[in-house]
Structure formats: C-alpha cells, structure tokens
C-alpha cells in the first residue's frame, strides 16, 4: 500500500468557492507536495457549511470523524490532523474531542493534532513579521475583522493588537464579529487618534461570508458603513489570511511539529 500515514487538513470551511481555492486549497496543495507519501484529506468542522455545499453544489466534504473513518477504511492508523483555525477556540476543541472519542473505539490509532495559527507567543510574532514582510501593513492604518468567540481564547485578538503596538505598528486595530472587541470599540479608538481613513481587512482564514457581508457590503450594519457613518473612509481588502505565504508556512510548521513530536 502506498500510503502508510495520513494527514487531515481541518478548517471551519466556507461556502465561497473562490476564497476556498485561494485560502484552503493553496494550503492543501503545499502540504500534499511536501508529504507526497501521505494520504491527505480535507475536513470542515462546520456542519452548516458542509450541508450547504452538499445541497447546493453536490459537494461532499468530510468532517474530522468522517475523514478519520476514511483513513481507517484505507488501513491508515497513523494520522496527523492540522487545524486551520486562527485561535484555539471551540472549533479547535471540537477536533480534540472528536479525536478523543475516536481513539476510545480505535485504540491502535496514533493521532496528533497540529496547533491553530495563534497558539504560542512566537506564533503571534511570526504572523506580525509575515504581514509586515508581505506589505499587508503599509502607511495607512489597518482595521482587521476577526471572527471572535465567547471562548477565553478570544483574548488572542487583543494580545495581537498589543504586540503590533509594541513592535511600533500602533495603527493596527483588531475587532471581532462575535467576540469582546467590536467595531464600535475600534471606532472609538480611531476617533481618539483622529484617524479619517483605514484599510479594512478580514483577519480570518478565508474572505467568506463575514468578510463579504458583515465587513464590506452596502448593508447599513456592515463595518464599512459603520465607519463611514462616523466619518472614517474604509478601503476594502478582501483577502483571507490563507492567501498570505507567511500564514500558510506557519500552519505547515505546526503540522511538522505534530509529525515530529
């Protein structure tokens, strides 16, 4: 048998094909090229995204358990799962729990899970260095839209913003859709600094539903229009983090750490 080991690349997923190709498939291809002797499978942790893709496009995507069961069918018992999540929140914990449940039934399996993007302090530093090196940060102030969560890992967004400031990038602001720091908090900061124009970008793996609708749309409640209503012009950058090579490389590093551990 060709494949003795397997890799599952697990992200939340997206229903938007273009950003899926740019931000998820680009990482998958990089991993497939590096680990050509491994069976590499895609998994989405969002059941809603999986359901939409199946009903709308006839596209079947595994969830992590489905991917593990496929590995089992193929006789592959050493599996590495790389999370493409940004923070170690509920979606990442869902993978950990599913792996624990699977191993109870399949004790002969060896399964390791690679860390999400922002886990250790050096991950934060590498993300900042990567965004600077690839000129994602320029002269203009930048407002990032993170997803956010009620999970304690939501604090990662504030930590990253503080680290930007510590490194001399004081005009980088990170708000969230569903976390503690909202666009209203960011607008207050911008007003305090008398900033009248920003670049607005998603701090998410893909530029999907939140970026297109909640951030950039003409909807009155979009971040773009909330900024405009407060006299702040927003130049839109619809690019997911998966399009940035430094981010892709950091996910690959996390996978390598799991494989070598």
Measure the CA–CA gap between 106 and 116, rounded to whole angstroms: 25
Residue 242: φ, ψ to 5°: -65, -10
* CB-count burial class (<10 Å; 0-12, 13-18, 19+) for 22: middle
As annotated, the active-site residues are: 147
User: Hey, is 234 helix, strand or coil?
Assistant: strand
Q: What is the DSSP track for 60-121?
A: --B-HHHHHHHHHHTT--EEEEEE--SSSSHHHHHHHHHHHHHHHH-TT-EEEEE--SS-SH
The candidate with the shortest Cα–Cα distance to 227, out of 181, 188, 172, is 188
DSSP state of 261: -
Measure the CA–CA gap between 130 and 73, rounded to whole angstroms: 39
């Amino acid at each position: 048998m060709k494949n003795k080991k397997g890799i599952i690349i697990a992200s939340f997923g997206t229903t938007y094909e273009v950003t899926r190709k740019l931000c998820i498939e680009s990482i998958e291809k990089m991993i497939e090229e590096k680990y050509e002797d491994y069976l590499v499978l895609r998994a989405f942790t969002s059941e809603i995204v999986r359901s939409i893709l199946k009903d709308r496009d006839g596209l079947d995507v595994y969830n992590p358990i489905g991917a593990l069961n496929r590995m089992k069918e193929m006789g592959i018992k050493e599996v590495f799962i790389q999370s493409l999540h940004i923070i170690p929140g509920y979606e990442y914990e869902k993978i950990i729990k599913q792996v624990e449940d699977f191993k109870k039934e399949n004790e002969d399996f060896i399964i390791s899970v690679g860390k999400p993007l922002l886990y250790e302090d050096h991950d934060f530093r590498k993300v900042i260095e990567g965004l600077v090196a690839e000129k994602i940060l320029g002269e203009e102030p930048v407002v990032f839209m993170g997803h956010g969560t009620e999970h304690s890992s939501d604090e990662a967004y504030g930590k990253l913003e503080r680290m930007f400031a510590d490194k001399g990038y004081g005009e980088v602001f990170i708000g969230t859709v569903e976390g503690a720091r909202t666009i209203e908090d960011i607008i207050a900061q911008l007003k305090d600094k008398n900033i009248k124009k920003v670049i607005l970008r998603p701090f998410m793996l893909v530029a999907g539903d939140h970026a297109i609708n909640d951030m950039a749309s003409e909807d009155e409640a979009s971040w773009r229009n909330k900024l405009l209503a407060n006299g702040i012009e927003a130049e839109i950058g619809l690019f997911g983090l998966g399009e940035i090579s430094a981010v892709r490389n950091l996910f690959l590093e996390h996978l390598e750490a799991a494989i070598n551990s």
